[in-house]
Amino acid sequence: MRPVDRAQLERIARRWIEEGWRHGNAGVVDELHAPEFVDHDSAGRPPDNEGFKLGIERLYAAFPDLKAEVTDLVVDVETGAVAVRWSAAGSHIGPYLGADPCGRTVRFKGIEIIRISGGLIVERWGEWDGIDLLEQLGQVHL
């Protein structure tokens, strides 16, 4: 296993967000995830690489112009963990979370924690403000 430094961990995390969540490139999973990758918050999808790709594909089918931005990055070199706070916006033109397309631009945010080992992402935990998104999509009223 090759050693990983702070800059390398940050580069991997930023590329993961940029490619996967800014450009909708599900292929980034093949490049940056370890074969044994586990998604601890898979939202009902298989908790593996194929399930994670499916999540990206579904998100971009509903929000094809989605753009995610890294707001903050916190790196723990000892454990290889990187916490990423992000925000995103996109036009809702396909069904998502039971909501029919509304055509509006919606904004949402969340936090991802990934663990990197040997230069590859081996685990992911993530939380995002789904209630706010559902409210913007007209699915819930607060």
pTM comes to 0.90
Is 67 domain-assigned? yes
Per-residue pLDDT band at 138 (split at 50, 70, 90): confident
Is 12 domain-assigned? yes
Residue positions counted in the chain: 142
The count of domains in the chain is: 1
* Euclidean distance between the first and the last CA atom of the chain, given in angstroms as a whole number: 49
Tokens linked to 94: 């396909």
Q: How far apart are CA 69 and CA 130, in angstroms?
A: 17
- What's the CATH number where 69 sits? 3.10.450.50
Residues above pLDDT 70, as percent of the chain: 97
Q: Which domain does 56 fall in, by range?
A: 6-136
Is 1 domain-assigned? no
Which one-letter amino acid corresponds to residue 108? Answer: F
Is 141 domain-assigned? no
Is 64 domain-assigned? yes
Is 52 domain-assigned? yes
Quote the pLDDT of residue 50.
96
Q: How far apart are CA 135 and CA 141, in angstroms?
A: 6
pLDDT tens by residue, 43-62: 899 999 999 999 999 999 99
Q: How far apart are CA 63 and CA 95, in angstroms?
A: 9
State yes or no: pLDDT of 72 exceeds 70: yes
